[in-house]
């Protein structure tokens, strides 16, 4: 027996922390940390739905796997972009002025 | 059509007078000529009046309210109209001389005409709406007349004070009149009187049949007593204001800043006496409400004695006459307050009639004397009656009348009638009769004392006799006419225009006794000294300041009202406007913040905005969905 | 409060504290390491919820691969040892971000908490069932995903490749 309040609150808290991180960080790499936290919140929610017995086709286990895979792919591409930007501009500060002109 | 002519002539004179104000000669001709025509019409109307004749007006309907705008003429109203027209004519003739060099004579004459028309409208009105119209026009005209010499600050202040005080009291008057008219569904006087009267006969019959009091009242459709008392008290408040009774008494003495003919008009025949006319018209209802009678009775009892005492100690004789007016108007109103319901208020109207004659005589005479002596203070006026024979006679007759010496002059007889009425009221013991009677007797003594004082001061023997030069014969004529009417005016009782009882010899004896006491007290200092200086030296400065009521008005009414106004203004500008200004400030701040965010095109700012937008949209969705 | 609840609460607290520090710390490397702690906490929670496979994959892929990638990226972008003062943000921005996070968490909680009506018995899904479903029902998305991974691999290489100094590509 498990109470569902815990997973739900944990998911909310993780998403909230992730959003706060996305909004607060200027470092492009650390922005990804926030995104990972938001995604992990969604994992908790999906698995909690499965634990409550409310899923079909084992979606509660399969979809988290998909999410993890997509997140890995996203991180790979994002870090590639970050490296390119760092190489071109010498900084990964998101607030650096005229970012658009430098990249193009 | 006579009543309409009666009102229309002075109003036409006013309109013409304003149009012709640049030409003194034409303005004079219009004012005097139409004034004489008004007097002629009024006397004819009085002579021809036989019973009560209602002349229908242009009837209006305002929703559920019928407004017939009727006028009515009966012998009593005819007599009052005649005396009003007479005094107005006397004032018009007098002011052609008195204001000869005044550059605004035209406006003055036109205002006097309008004032007369308004008073005549109140006198012959059979419709409460017309009464209110006349009442308000009089208030406005009094403001104009008192402030005629508007280049002087004191005159401006006095005019403003008179206007404000009477306007404040008029709130009660208008509310009361509206209440009475709304209760009856009509503004016609007869239609208003009927539903507000106590159906005494019906109630008595029901009680005789053994019904309970409450059932009898319901069955007879009796009006709500408390409501009636409230409405009548409101009306009485307005009348107290217009007639300068306690607690509104202070404006009338200040109104002496106006030209003397205007004072004569305001005091003798029009504004301050109008309250008596209105209350007499409402008397059948008024008599049924003991609360309203007591309210009026207490106010006038206090006023008549207080004003008489103040009059005695004034250093300025014109102000003395003003206070005596307050006292005499209180005497008129006391007859209304104390009269037994069966008798009617005609004793008060009779006193109004005689007061109009002798007070206009006194004012016009003192105006002349002041012009000859160069001031209205008692010291300056000392012995000034010697300037002309008519002045000496006029003062003698006028002050005798004011003191109320019976049979000799007009004022005496009418005061006897008031006394008898009060006695009847006191005997019946349903109203403030006893209180009024006591106040009347005391007032009679004090009045006799200050009349003696005035006469002594004005006719004192002085070495340098003032002379009146250049006074036209017509002014002499006006004063002589007024003197004659003051002496023989009491014969009006014989015409039966006023429904009053006979006065017994016992009453006359009694009042002669009271007057004798007053005169004897005044003569304690001998014939050559001012009795006020002998008897009430300490009281004189206090009386000159009107007991400091002006200061009281300022402390109790003006200052709190001003504070309230400031508070309201503060709330308006700082609290209500703050929201309006706040929206502007908020918009500007939002614009500034937005501009700052956009200045550098920062990606993180965009991310923050997008996230905020998503959260807000989500919140909106949750709120709408749940 | 059952033993499962207690275990979940412990791992949940670990995840939240780790996440909080990962978001707030000023040391960039510490942020990545705290993310590891947070993800381990999440994996624990998933274990308690009965999804062993997901928890394992989470640890393997995230902790083993993603976080290592992040650390590499930090090193390649010359992250400083100690506090990252170059990317410090002002107090207003920190407060605004905190409020935004709170609002998001509150919004989600307000939707989710009413759905939690009491304790439920954990639904047991075995790994066999998951495998069956994954290669049965979900097989097409699974194959698409492999394509996606391939595309991401090639794309990342193309983007991150050092430009050819000879300019042969042009």
Measured between beta carbons, which residues in chain C are less than 8 angstroms from residue A48?
49
Among chain B residues, the shortest Cα distance to A95 is held by B602
Are the C-beta atoms of residues A49 and C126 closer than 8 Å to each other? Answer: no
CA distance B161 to B244: 12
DSSP calls for B250-261: HHHHHGGGS-HH
Whether residues C28 and A29 touch (CB distance < 8 A) is answered with yes
Whole-number pLDDT of residue C44:
94
Are the C-beta atoms of residues B319 and B244 closer than 8 Å to each other? Answer: no
- Give ∠ CA B237-B243-B248 in degrees, rounded to 5: 60
CATH assignment at residue C77: 1.20.120.1200
Whole-number pLDDT of residue A103:
44
Q: How far off is chain A from C51, nearest CA to CA, in Å? A: 7
Q: How high is the mean pLDDT of chain C?
A: 86
The two three-digit tokens of residue B298, written as one number: 């207490």
Measured between beta carbons, which residues in chain C are less than 8 angstroms from residue B602?
none
H runs (alpha helix) in B472-602? 473-488, 505-522, 531-535, 539-544, 549-552, 559-570, 577-599
CA distance B105 to B24: 7
Inter-chain Cβ pairs, chain A and chain C, closer than 8 A:
282
3-class state of residue A2 by DSSP: strand
CA distance B338 to B422: 5
Measured between beta carbons, which residues in chain C are less than 8 angstroms from residue B622?
107, 110-111
Query: Tell me: the pLDDT tens digits for B312-371?
Result: 888 888 889 999 999 999 999 998 888 888 778 888 888 888 899 899 999 999 988 888
C100 within a domain of the structure (yes/no): no
Q: What is the mean pLDDT of residues A16-26?
A: 90
Q: What is the mean pLDDT of residues B11-28?
A: 89
Are the C-beta atoms of residues B36 and B75 closer than 8 Å to each other? Answer: no
Are the C-beta atoms of residues B543 and B309 closer than 8 Å to each other? Answer: yes
Grade residue B602 by pLDDT with cuts at 50, 70 and 90: low
> Which one has a higher pLDDT value, A92 or B78?
B78
Q: What is the mean pLDDT of residues B124-150?
A: 91
C114 within a domain of the structure (yes/no): no
Whole-number pLDDT of residue B533:
78
Among chain A residues, the shortest Cα distance to C139 is held by A62
Torsion of CA C12, C17, C23, C27, to 10 degrees: -140
Measured between beta carbons, which residues in chain B are less than 8 angstroms from residue A95?
600, 602-605
CA distance B354 to B361: 11
Whole-number pLDDT of residue A13:
95
CA distance C98 to B578: 31
A97 within a domain of the structure (yes/no): no
A9 within a domain of the structure (yes/no): yes
**pLDDT of B39 above 60:** yes
Among chain B residues, the shortest Cα distance to C104 is held by B615
Whether residues B622 and C96 touch (CB distance < 8 A) is answered with no
Q: Is the pTM of this model over 0.90?
A: no
The two three-digit tokens of residue B28, written as one number: 């004079």
Whether residues B615 and C96 touch (CB distance < 8 A) is answered with no
Are the C-beta atoms of residues B354 and B405 closer than 8 Å to each other? Answer: no
User: What is the pairing mode between strands A2-3 and C119-120?
Assistant: antiparallel
**pLDDT of B513 above 60:** yes
Q: Print the domain residue range for A73.
A: 5-89
From chain C residues 130-169, the ones with a CB under 8 A of any chain A CB are 130, 132-134, 137-138, 141-142, 145, 148-149, 151-153, 155-157, 159-160, 162
Q: What is the mean pLDDT of residues C154-162?
A: 86
CA distance B447 to B401: 10
Q: What is the mean pLDDT of residues B214-225?
A: 76
C54 within a domain of the structure (yes/no): yes
Whole-number pLDDT of residue B598:
67
Whether residues A18 and C23 touch (CB distance < 8 A) is answered with yes
3-class state of residue B72 by DSSP: strand
Query: Tell me: the pLDDT tens digits for B177-211?
Result: 999 998 888 888 888 888 888 777 777 778 878 77
Task: Kindly list the distances between the CA atom of residue B490 and the CA atoms of B343, B355, B495, in Å, as whole numbers in the listed order.
Answer: 20, 11, 10
Whether residues B603 and A19 touch (CB distance < 8 A) is answered with no
Could you tell me how far CA B531 lies from the centroid of its own chain?
30
**pLDDT of C20 above 90:** yes
Whole-number pLDDT of residue A102:
45
Whether residues C104 and B612 touch (CB distance < 8 A) is answered with no
Of B608, B612, B622, nearest to C111 by CB-CB distance is: B622
Are the C-beta atoms of residues C4 and C48 closer than 8 Å to each other? Answer: yes
The one-character DSSP state at C79 is P
Whether residues A23 and B603 touch (CB distance < 8 A) is answered with no
Grade residue B528 by pLDDT with cuts at 50, 70 and 90: confident
Grade residue A104 by pLDDT with cuts at 50, 70 and 90: very low
Query: B512-516, B565-569, B606-610 — which is least confidently predicted?
Result: B606-610
Whether residues C76 and A44 touch (CB distance < 8 A) is answered with no
Percent share of chain B, pLDDT over 90:
26
DSSP calls for C89-156: --HHHHHHHHHHHHHHHHHHHHHHGGG--SEEPPPP--HHHHHHHHTTTTHHHHHHHHHHHHHHHHHH
As for how many domains chain C has, the answer is 1
Give B271's Cβ-side CA count (13 Å radius): 35
Burial class (CB in 10 A: 0-12, 13-18, 19+), A21: buried
> Which one has a higher pLDDT value, B282 or B213?
B282
Whether residues B611 and A98 touch (CB distance < 8 A) is answered with no
CA distance B180 to B200: 19
C92 within a domain of the structure (yes/no): no
Q: A55 φ, ψ to 5°?
A: -130, 165
Grade residue B409 by pLDDT with cuts at 50, 70 and 90: low
C97 within a domain of the structure (yes/no): no
The two three-digit tokens of residue A63, written as one number: 């979809």
Among chain C residues, the shortest Cα distance to A24 is held by C97
3-class state of residue B67 by DSSP: strand
Could you tell me how far CA B351 lies from the centroid of its own chain?
15
Q: How high is the mean pLDDT of chain B?
A: 86
Percent share of chain A, pLDDT over 90:
35
Whether residues A94 and B602 touch (CB distance < 8 A) is answered with yes
Q: Which position has the token pair 């009046």?
A: B49
B600 touches chain A (CB under 8 A): yes
Among chain A residues, the shortest Cα distance to C109 is held by A12
CA distance B373 to B366: 10
Are the C-beta atoms of residues B328 and B398 closer than 8 Å to each other? Answer: no
Whether residues C123 and A70 touch (CB distance < 8 A) is answered with no
Of A26, A98, A100, nearest to B604 by CB-CB distance is: A26
C40 touches chain A (CB under 8 A): no
What angle in degrees, to the nearest 10, is found between the helix axes of B389-403 and B346-373?
A: 150
**pLDDT of B526 above 80:** no
Whether residues C69 and A75 touch (CB distance < 8 A) is answered with yes
B622 touches chain A (CB under 8 A): no
Which range of A9-23, B11-25, B592-606 scores highest in mean pLDDT? It is A9-23
Percent share of chain C, pLDDT over 90:
38
C17 within a domain of the structure (yes/no): yes
Q: Print the domain residue range for C71.
A: 3-82+127-160
A23 touches chain B (CB under 8 A): yes
Test the B interface: residue of A20, A22, A23, A93 with most B CBs within 10 Å: A23
Q: How far off is chain B from C108, nearest CA to CA, in Å? A: 9
CA distance B68 to B384: 53
Whole-number pLDDT of residue B599:
65
Q: Establish whether the linkage from the previous residue to B503 is cis, with ω within 30° of 0.
A: no
- Short-list B69, B70, B92, B3, CA closest to B42: B3
Is the torsion defined by CA of B381, B385, B388, B394 positive or negative?
A: positive
CA distance B462 to C40: 125
Q: Which position has the token pair 């979940």?
A: C8
Whole-number pLDDT of residue A99:
46
B617 touches chain A (CB under 8 A): no
Whether residues A95 and B604 touch (CB distance < 8 A) is answered with yes
**pLDDT of B214 above 80:** no
Whether residues B619 and C96 touch (CB distance < 8 A) is answered with no
Grade residue A19 by pLDDT with cuts at 50, 70 and 90: very high
- Short-list B407, B402, B409, CA closest to B454: B402
**pLDDT of B127 above 80:** yes
The number of helices, as runs of H, and strands, as runs of E, in chain C is 7, 1
Whole-number pLDDT of residue B429:
59
Q: How far off is chain B from C169, nearest CA to CA, in Å? A: 31
Whole-number pLDDT of residue B384:
81
Whether residues A95 and B607 touch (CB distance < 8 A) is answered with no
Query: Tell me: the pLDDT tens digits for C96-121?
Result: 889 999 999 999 998 888 888 777 87
Grade residue C167 by pLDDT with cuts at 50, 70 and 90: low
CA distance A39 to C38: 12
Q: What is the mean pLDDT of residues B11-19?
A: 90
As for how many domains chain A has, the answer is 1
Whole-number pLDDT of residue B601:
59
From chain B residues 473-502, the ones with a CB under 8 A of any chain A CB are none
Among chain B residues, the shortest Cα distance to A97 is held by B600
């Amino acid at each position: 027996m498990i109470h569902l309040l815990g997973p739900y609150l944990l998911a909310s808290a993780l998403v909230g922390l992730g959003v706060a991180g996305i909004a607060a960080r200027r470092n492009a790499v650390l922005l990804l940390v926030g995104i990972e936290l938001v995604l992990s919140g969604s994992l908790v929610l999906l698995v909690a739905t499965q634990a409550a017995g409310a899923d079909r086709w084992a979606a509660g286990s399969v979809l988290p796997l998909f999410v993890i895979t997509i997140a890995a792919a996203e991180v790979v591409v994002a870090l590639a972009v970050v490296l390119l930007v760092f190489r071109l501009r010498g900084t990964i500060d998101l607030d650096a002025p005229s970012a658009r002109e430098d990249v193009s | 059509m006579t009543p309409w002519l009666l009102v229309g002539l002075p109003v036409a004179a006013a309109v013409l007078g304003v149009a012709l104000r640049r030409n003194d000669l034409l303005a004079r001709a219009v004012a005097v000529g139409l004034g004489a025509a008004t007097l002629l019409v009024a006397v004819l109307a009085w002579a021809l009046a036989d019973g009560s004749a209602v002349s229908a007006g242009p009837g209006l309907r305002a929703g559920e309210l019928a407004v017939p705008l009727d006028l009515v003429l009966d012998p009593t109203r005819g007599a009052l109209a005649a005396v009003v027209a007479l005094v107005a004519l006397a004032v018009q003739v007098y002011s052609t001389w008195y204001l000869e060099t005044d550059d605004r004579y035209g406006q003055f004459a036109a205002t006097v005409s309008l004032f007369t028309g308004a008073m005549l409208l109140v006198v012959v009105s059979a419709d409460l709406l017309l009464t209110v119209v006349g009442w308000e026009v009089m208030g406005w005209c009094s403001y104009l007349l008192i402030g005629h010499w508007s280049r002087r600050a004191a005159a401006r202040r006095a005019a403003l004070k008179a206007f404000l005080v009477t306007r404040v009291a008029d709130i009660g008057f208008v509310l009361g009149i509206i209440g009475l008219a709304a209760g009856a569904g009509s503004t016609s006087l007869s239609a208003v009187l009927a539903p507000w009267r106590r159906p005494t006969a019906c109630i008595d019959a029901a009680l005789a049949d053994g019904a309970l009091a409450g059932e009898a009242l319901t069955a007879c459709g009796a009006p709500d007593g408390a409501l009636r008392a409230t409405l009548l008290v409101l009306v009485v408040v307005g009348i107290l204001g217009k007639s300068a009774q306690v607690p509104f008494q202070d404006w009338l003495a200040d109104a002496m800043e106006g030209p003397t003919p205007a004072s004569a008009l305001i005091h003798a025949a029009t504004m301050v006496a109008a309250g008596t006319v209105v209350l007499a018209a409402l008397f059948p209802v008024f008599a049924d409400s003991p609360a309203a009678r007591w309210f009026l009775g207490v106010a006038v009892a206090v006023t008549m004695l207080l004003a008489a005492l103040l009059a005695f100690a004034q250093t300025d004789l014109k102000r003395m006459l003003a206070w005596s007016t307050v006292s005499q108007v209180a005497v008129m109103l006391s007859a209304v307050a104390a009269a037994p319901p069966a008798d009617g208020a005609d004793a008060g109207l009779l006193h109004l009639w005689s007061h109009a004659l002798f007070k206009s005589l006194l004012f016009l005479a003192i105006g002349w004397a002041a012009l000859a002596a160069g001031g209205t203070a008692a010291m300056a006026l000392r012995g000034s009656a010697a300037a002309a024979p008519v002045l000496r006679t006029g003062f003698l007759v006028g002050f005798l009348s004011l003191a109320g010496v019976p049979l000799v002059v007009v004022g005496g007889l009418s005061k006897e009638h008031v006394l008898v009425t009060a006695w009847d009221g006191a005997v019946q013991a349903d109203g403030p009769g006893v209180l009024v009677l006591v106040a009347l007797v005391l007032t009679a003594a004090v009045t006799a004392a200050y009349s003696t004082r005035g006469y002594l001061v004005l006719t004192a023997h002085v070495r340098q006799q003032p002379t009146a030069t250049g006074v036209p014969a017509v002014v002499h004529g006006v004063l002589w006419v007024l003197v004659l009417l003051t002496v023989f005016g009491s014969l009006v009782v014989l015409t039966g225009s006023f429904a009053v009882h006979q006065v017994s010899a016992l009453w006359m004896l009694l009042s002669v006794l009271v007057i004798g006491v007053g005169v004897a007290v005044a003569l304690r200092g001998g014939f050559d000294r001012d009795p006020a200086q002998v008897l009430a030296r300490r009281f004189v400065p206090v009386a000159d300041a009107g007991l400091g009521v002006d200061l009281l008005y300022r402390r109790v009414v003006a200052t709190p009202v001003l504070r309230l106004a400031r508070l309201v203004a503060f709330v308006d500008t700082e609290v209500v406007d703050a929201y309006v200004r706040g929206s502007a400030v908020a918009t500007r701040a939002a614009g500034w913040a937005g501009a700052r965010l956009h200045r550098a095109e920062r990606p993180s700012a965009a991310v923050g905005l997008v996230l905020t937008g998503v959260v807000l949209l989500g919140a909106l969705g949750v709120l709408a969905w749940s | 409060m059952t033993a499962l609840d207690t275990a979940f609460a412990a791992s949940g607290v670990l995840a939240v504290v780790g996440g909080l520090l990962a978001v707030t710390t000023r040391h960039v490397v510490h942020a990545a390491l705290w993310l590891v702690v947070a993800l381990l906490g999440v994996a624990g929670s998933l274990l308690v919820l009965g999804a062993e496979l997901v928890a394992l994959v989470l640890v393997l892929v995230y902790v083993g691969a993603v976080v290592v990638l992040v650390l590499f990226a930090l090193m390649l972008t010359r992250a400083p040892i100690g506090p990252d003062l170059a990317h410090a943000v002002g107090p207003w921005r920190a407060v605004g971000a905190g409020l935004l996070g709170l609002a998001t968490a509150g919004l989600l909680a307000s939707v989710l908490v009413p759905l939690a009506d009491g304790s439920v018995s954990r639904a047991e899904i075995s790994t066999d069932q998951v495998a069956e479903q994954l290669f049965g029902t979900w097989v097409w998305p699974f194959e698409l995903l492999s394509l996606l991974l391939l595309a991401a691999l090639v794309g990342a290489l193309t983007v991150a490749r050092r430009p050819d100094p000879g300019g042969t590509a042009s």
